[in-house]
Amino acid sequence: MDIGDRAEIRRVFSAEDVAAYVELEGGDPASTVPEPLIAALFSYLLGVKLPGPGTNYLKQDIAFSARAPLGTELTASVEVTRLRPEKGIVDLWASARLPDGRVVAEGRSLVKFTDTEHG
8 Å CB contact between 90 and 109:
no
- Each domain of the chain, given as residue ranges in start order, spans 6-112
CATH topology of domain 6-112: Thiol Ester Dehydrase; Chain A (3.10.129)
Q: Does the predicted TM-score (pTM) go above 0.85?
A: yes
Percent of the chain whose pLDDT exceeds 70? 96
DSSP codes of every residue in 13-76: --HHHHHHHHHHHT----SB--HHHHHHHHHHIIIIISS-TT-EEEEEEEEE-S--BTT-EEEE
CA dihedral 78, 118, 53, 86 (to 10 degrees): -50
pLDDT in tens, 53-83: 999 999 999 999 999 999 999 999 999 999 9
Q: Which of 113, 75, 82, 107 is nearest to 93 (CA)?
A: 107
